[in-house]
Structure formats: C-alpha cells, structure tokens
Chains A and B, each alone.
Chain A
Amino acid sequence: MNSLFGPLDDVAGDAGHVEHPPRVGFFTDTSVCIGCKACEVACKQWNGVPAAEHLDLLGMSHDNTGALGANAWRHVAFVEQSKPVDLGMPAVDGLRWLMASDVCKHCTHAGCLDVCPTGALFRTEFGSVVVQQDICNGCGYCVSACPYGVIERRPGDGRAQKCTLCYDRLHGGLEPACAKACPTESIQFGELDELRDRAAARVATLHERGETGARLYGADEHDGVGGNGAFFLLLDEPEVYGLPPDPVVPTRDAVRMWKFVGAAAGAFLAAAVGSFLGRR
C-alpha cells in the first residue's frame, strides 16, 4: 500500500491534487546556524503566533523556547558539548556548540494528517501539511500521532497548531518567513529534489573537511515516514537535538493493528454468544 508508507513520488497528487506545483520544503543546514532565532521571531510575527505566557530562563544553554509546540513553530536548539573533536568544528579542548532550527517535518507520510478525523489537516498542492483552523475541533489526536512531537493544541484556544510552511506566502510566490529571515541561509527553501541534491553535496564537502559527523536527517524516502518535506543536516545523532532516531508513521502498521482488533472483537462476540448458549 504505497500511500501509507514507503517512497512516494507525488505526495500532492496522491492526496488528490490534479495539477500542482512541484513539492517544496526546507533544507535546514545546521552547520551554518548561528543560533540567532530570527526564524522563531519571523515566524511568530508573520503567523500571529502568541508569545509565551511565562518568561522562563530554561537554563538549557541559550534555548528559552524549549521545544516545538502550538506557540513555537520554529525552535532553535542549543547543545554545548565538550568532548574530543578531531577537526571541523572548533576545538578548545573540544568545545563545540551545536545550534539547530527545528520545524515541522511536513512528512511524506504524515501521522497527524492520517489520523485527523475532521479533515482539518490536509495535504496542500505544495506537498505541505496544514491545519485548517476553521475546521479543527481540537480532538488532539494528531498530537499523539506525530512521531516528532511537533503538533500541539494551543492552550486557551483548543485547536491544533503547527508550521504551515507559510501557505499564504507560498500562494503569493514568496518564501516562508523563516527562510527569508535566516541570515546565513541555514534555512533553505525550494523544490525538494533540488534541496536534496544540494544537501548531499554539502554533506560531502563537510566530510572532506573532516567533519565526519555530518549527516542528513529526514532526506531518505525509505525511512519510516517516507522522507520529510523539511529535512536537516545534523552534526551529531538526532537524539542529541531532541529528534527521534528512527521515526515511523504510526499508520504504517494500521492494517496489522486492525487485524488484532478484529480478532479481539470476534472473540468478544463469541464470548457473548457463548455465554447465552446452553443455558436455555
């Protein structure tokens, strides 16, 4: 069943769009992120995402946002590491500071989209995944279906919120606000195929320069979500950044799960029937 998992060439077409532009997304090259958080601010500004209710110094390096959520559609992670580092990133007795701007992955097979019972979540013609705010009734199912922990219900509002890949800006021929604001082009926006090529070349360059820990995350269409519409270049394991190492769209096992339900339901019925038999 190609539509539930595995490589999928034409996400928008698979979702029912007949004529549509090429799939677009983000390549976030964290090796050039300067942790400025312009992406966080530009996103909030453009999309009217509320500021946090509490001002908290979280003590997680320079990260006071904490995680992606209903009120944080871009989140810059900071990881201070002191360990032997051979080459590449600067080493004073191996001091390294990873900075990475996280975002909704706009998965090829999106768990949130698959489980949405109202149709609020849908696949756009650009291949992105967007929540229609006038339809969402805040059932919260998408929250548990996302293997990356991205989507969340907004406190005080109740509806599910996440990055829209600036759907309105795309309609206007503009790039998303975060990509526009990023000063070092850590966040690159464009056609996904082209981004993937660019990313592969960048990884090769980094490897040549001795940065052997550089790797792509979410660029492989054979992974558990069919590859991401927003993928990353990381310099360490995903879990260091708070990302799951091997995310899988829950829908992948849906059929199997229903089979067990069927068996249990059948047993349930049989038990009920059997309880009444022979008792006349």
Chain B
Amino acid sequence: MSHRAEPLPPPRPDDHSYYGRPILKPPAWDWRIPAYLFAGGLSGGATLISVGADLTGRDRLRRRTRVTAVAGLGASMYFLVSDLGKPLRFHHMLRVAKPTSPMSVGTWILSAYSPGIGLAAAAEVLPARWRLTRLLRRVARPASLSSAALAPALAGYTAVLLSQTAVPAWNTAHPYLPFVFTGSAAASSGGLAMALVPPAEAGPARTFAAVGAAAELVASRVLEHRIGMVAEAYTTGRAHTLRRWSEYLTAGGLAGILLARRSRVAAVGAGLALAAGSALQRFGVFEAGVASTRDPRYVVTPQRERLATARGAVER
C-alpha cells in the first residue's frame, strides 16, 4: 500500500450529488470495443456486398469484400476477446443463450455468422490448386449467404448492446443509434470496397456507401436534438471532437463518392475518409457514453424531470 504523492483537489459538495462524484461506473471497456463496433459493422457490410457481388458476377468486388469481411471479423474477435477481464475464458460466452443480454445474442450472432464468411474468404485466398480450395469454392456462395442473413443483425445489434445499459448517453439514444451504426457500417464497408476495387465494379459499393453515409449523418444529428440534456455528452468534450471529425470525413467522403465514379484516386480518398469517419463515429459515441457516466448530472437531471412529470400526471 502506498500513499499518493499529490494531495487531492477539494471536491465540491452540493445538494444534487455526492461531492460531485459519479453515480454510475464508467464502462469497463476500453478502445477495443469501439474498435470492434467499427470492425464488426465493416465485416457485416462487406459480407452483404460480397454476396451481391457474387450474385452479379463482380469478381474483384466479391473477392476483396470477402477478404475484408473476414479481416473485420478477425479483428473483431481479437478486440472482443482481448478486452475481456479473463480472455482465456472467452468461451464461457457460449454457456448460455440469453435473450435479455444483447451480448449473449451478439455472441450467437457472431458464432452463426463466422463460419460462412470464413469459408467463403478461405475459398478466395487459399491456393487455387488445392483440392480443399476447389471444395470451398463450391460451398462459398451458400456459406456467404448464411453469413449475409446474419450480417444486418451483426451490424445493428451493437446499438442495443450499448443502449441496454444504464449509460445515459447510450440508453436515451436507443431509437437513433441503430441507424447511426448500420449507416456507419454501410458507409465503411462500401467505402473500403470503393477503395479496393476499380470504379467499374464498385458501383453498388458507391451506392451502399452513399446511403449509409447519409443515414449516418442524419441519424447522428437528429440524435443530438432528441435526447434532452444528455445530448451534451455528445456535443461537448472529446466526444464532440471525435464526432465532428467523423462528420467532416463522412460528409467529405460522401461528396467524394460523386468523383469516385471516374477517379480511382478519388475513390480511394473517399473510401478511406468514409471508413475513418465511421471509425471516429464509433469512438465518438463510445466516448459520449463514458462522459455521460462521469458527471452525475446526466443521471440526476433526467430522472428528476421524469419524477416531476409523473408526479404532475398523478396530481392532474
């Protein structure tokens, strides 16, 4: 046991909090979780694009998005497992299937999603001369379809993962986060596909990215106006900085899509901007959540308002 060297600053006592201390605990997760949000959404979107590409004969689009999808999936697994307090016990997630737990639901979504796209991507990257590869290529389409069926869930469930908590910024934003996240997933996956594939084949990716980016921008803005004073967690501090840059990048990327049809360079730039914007969006939302647990105002003020309203309703 040791003594801290520096004396602590005096806390402020007041009538509305306990020395200004947080009521809630900050999220136990670190940067790896918003990184997962990004990677998971990216993977889901890429799987959908890969299936579309597969069904419409866009080989390069198909191959590169399958690889992107499994890379995103691999990164997701790494982020999720390493963020655990006891990483070697990651498989304990498979002990139960609990509908009340978005993380349990997510575990099973991921478990059901992974094999298909894994096989499909393996089919793409393994040496063509192998017997295994030929076998994989035969099952690649149904395999990737099985993943595609779960891809929207994968891209969207993380919104309820965050929202079904006591974290004020996430909980109050529950109507909007799903659209922010799925939009962001579309923007990042479409954007990266745009960057990786010649413009001729990237058309659907551009459309997907554009729709996603627009949805992300709109939903993100609407959120700020619909959640009362908790919005301050999004519009101040580090969260605000991250989300502002996310907006610039996403809006820029959106605009860049118009040029991406003709210019590969523009496509790469726009694609990377969209991906970066998507990532920053996830980090921004995460940071807003953390910030909303630090200041007890975010818990007390809305709850007091709720109580006052209820009392008013009773008295009426």
| Chain A interface residues toward B at CB < 8 A | 4, 51-60, 66-67, 69, 77, 79-80, 111, 114-120, 135-141, 143-153, 157-160, 237, 239-247, 250-251, 253-254, 256-258, 260-269, 271-276, 279-280
Cα–Cα distance between A170 and B84 once the two chains are bound (Å) = 31
Taking CB atoms, residues of chain A closer than 8 Å to B175 are: 260
Residue of B nearest to A83 (CB): B15
| Chain B interface residues toward A at CB < 8 A | 1-4, 8, 10-11, 13, 15-19, 21-25, 27-29, 44-45, 48-49, 52, 55-56, 83-87, 89-90, 92-93, 95-96, 98, 100-104, 106-107, 151-153, 155-157, 159-160, 163-167, 171, 174-175, 177-179, 181-183, 185-186, 190, 203-205, 207-208, 211-212, 215, 289, 293, 296, 299-300, 303-304, 306-307
Given contacts A60-B19, A152-B25, contact A54 B56 (CB under 8 A): no
Cα–Cα distance between A265 and B190 once the two chains are bound (Å) = 16
A246–B303 CB distance below 8 A? yes
Taking CB atoms, residues of chain B closer than 8 Å to A145 are: 164-166
Cα–Cα distance between A106 and B205 once the two chains are bound (Å) = 50
CB contact between A159 and one of B16, B85, B215 (< 8 Å): that residue: B85
Residue of A nearest to B206 (CB): A275
A244–B18 CB distance below 8 A? no
CB contact between B204 and one of A147, A257, A260, A276 (< 8 Å): that residue: A276
Give A217 Cβ to nearest chain B Cβ, in Å.
Answer: 13
CB contact between A276 and one of B52, B102, B157 (< 8 Å): that residue: B52
Cα–Cα distance between A251 and B165 once the two chains are bound (Å) = 8
Q: List 29 A-B contacts (CB under 8 A).
A: A53-B1, A54-B1, A55-B3, A55-B4, A114-B100, A117-B106, A136-B85, A138-B84, A139-B103, A140-B28, A140-B83, A140-B85, A141-B28, A144-B165, A144-B289, A145-B164, A145-B165, A149-B25, A149-B166, A150-B25, A159-B85, A239-B16, A254-B100, A257-B174, A258-B160, A260-B178, A268-B155, A268-B212, A274-B211
